[in-house]
Amino acid sequence: QVQLVESGGGLVQAGDSLRLSCAASGRTFSTYGMGWFRQAPGKEREFVAAISWSGGNTYYADSVKGRFTISRDNAKTTVYLQMNSLKPEDTAVYYCAADMLNMGGGRWSVQGSWGQGTQVIVSS
């Protein structure tokens, strides 16, 4: 099973940018969709963004659309989340996920692995 390791989190001010990275092990990385979720304190984990195996299709939660960009480099087996114009409400632990399944209606299922998470804190 693929192993996922996130990095790039930190403490920033509102309006700043961060880029999260998720390095994956395994030869099948380029065959499945990848995604990012987040979980804020006291809240359920929520979908943030997803990208198809080829990178040709991307999907975003309404709350991050226009501010966040998901991308992938299959040669480096890495998926990225560029986060711009960060807001305090973006504060959460961000998790990378492998083998995403679109359930429709904005719902996603993770068929593969989860990363350990990386903390993002946005101060006002």
pLDDT of 121: 98
Q: What is the pLDDT of residues 96-109, one digit of tens each?
A: 999 999 999 889 99
Please report, for residues 77, 110, 119, 122, the alpha-carbon distance to residue 98 in angstroms, rounded to integers and kept in the order given: 11, 7, 19, 26
Tell me the residue length of the chain: 124
CA 69 to CA 65: how far, in whole Å? 8
Residue ranges of the chain with per-residue pLDDT less than 50: none
Question: In this predicted structure, what is the pLDDT of residue 31?
Answer: 85
Instruction: Evaluate whether 116 touches 102 at the Cβ level (below 8 Å).
Output: no
Q: What is the pLDDT of residue 75?
A: 92
